[in-house]
Structure 1
Amino acid sequence: MKGTDKALCLCPATAEDLAFARELTRVNMRCYYTRYGLIWQPEAFDAQWPVRESYLVRKGGLSIGFLGFTVEQNYLYLRDVQLVEAYRGEGVGGWVMAYLSQMARDRGYSSIRLKVFKNNPATGLYRKLGYRQVGEDAALTWMELTVQPS
């Protein structure tokens, strides 16, 4: 699948991409897990891989991140958007989220839901993109974007 930025694309992930996605998630999330006293469980990540729809984020032929979500009754549930640190701050996250919104519209879903650690800077991006807070717990903010039909 091609994106609007000629250098960026989302490519369906395969079982061979699991190790990359798992390690990227572990590295990116370790500070949040430590802060909230959580324990990273790679086997839990692996068990969820087959039930998620996952895509590699590629730039110029290089894997720089991944997107993972599940399809629920009438919404997409965003499980992961992970980017290699060197590619953050370049608009890639916004591009991925816009792509996900278009995907939800094209498939006829009414919303996208996600949970994000409260101190994660991505919260600001989600708010900027129109996501609203719909709940929270000690560590996470629950957010939702209503998807307008095409």
Structure 2
Amino acid sequence: MDISLRRAVDEDLEFLISLREKTMRQHLLAVGMPISREEYVKRILFEFDHAQIVELEGTPIGLFKAKFDEALNYWYIIQIQIEPSYQGLQIGSRIIQDLIEQARRTGASVGLSVIKTNPAKHLYLRLGFNVVDASGIEHLMELQVE
């Protein structure tokens, strides 16, 4: 399976809106968050310079957005979304594990936030993340690498 990441560009916006609708709508509705196109675009464009398109053999199948804070030696996973038809193939796990390995080489920590009702939380727990805080509808999770 040839998984690659490439920098997201403006032309990816329609794909990313569709991806957000497919992957996040039910979780957003469950906690009363807005699901309008405008809100989707606002979330997609947040930290867009860190957005990468996940491709499988050249076909866009997801989004991965992570940011490194050098002063804190801390990676923050902003978003990861994989097309539902490609979920369960360990693609998201591989991408996150690659980031964890990169963090391990520099002694960095890794964090993320997840909506409490999102089943992706189980993936993060399996990868070694722990819930360190909760605020409203989200859990803050962190992984201390060694």
Same fold (TM over 0.5): yes
d(CA) in 2 for partners of 1:110 and 1:12?
Answer: 23
Trace 1:100-115 onto structure 2 (pairs within 5 A): 100-106=99-105, 108=106, 110-115=108-113
Match of 2:128 among 107, 127, 130: 130
Give 1:3's aligned residue.
none
Give 2:80's aligned residue.
81
Q: Is the 8 A contact 1:76 1:109 kept in 2?
A: no
Shift in Å, 1:95: 0.7
Shift in Å, 1:70: 2.3
Q: Structure 1 counterpart of 2:116, which letter?
A: K
Give 2:114's aligned residue.
116
Q: Structure 2 counterpart of 1:75, which letter?
A: Y
d(CA) in 2 for partners of 1:102 and 1:22?
Answer: 30
TM-score, structure 1 normalization: 0.83
Q: Structure 2 counterpart of 1:101, which letter?
A: I
Q: Is the 8 A contact 1:13 1:55 kept in 2?
A: yes
Give 1:68's aligned residue.
65
Shift in Å, 1:132: 0.7
Shift in Å, 1:142: 1.0
d(CA) in 2 for partners of 1:42 and 1:121?
Answer: 20
Task: Give the alignment's Cα RMSD to 1 decimal.
Answer: 1.9
Give 1:15's aligned residue.
10
Identity of aligned residues (%): 28
Shift in Å, 1:49: 4.3
d(CA) in 1 for partners of 2:44 and 2:83?
Answer: 19
Structure 2, unaligned stretches of length 5 or more? none
TM-score, structure 2 normalization: 0.85
Shift in Å, 1:43: 4.1
Structure 1, unaligned stretches of length 5 or more? 1-5
Could you list the runs of 4 or more consecutive aligned residues of structure 1 that deviate by over 6 angstroms after TM superposition? none
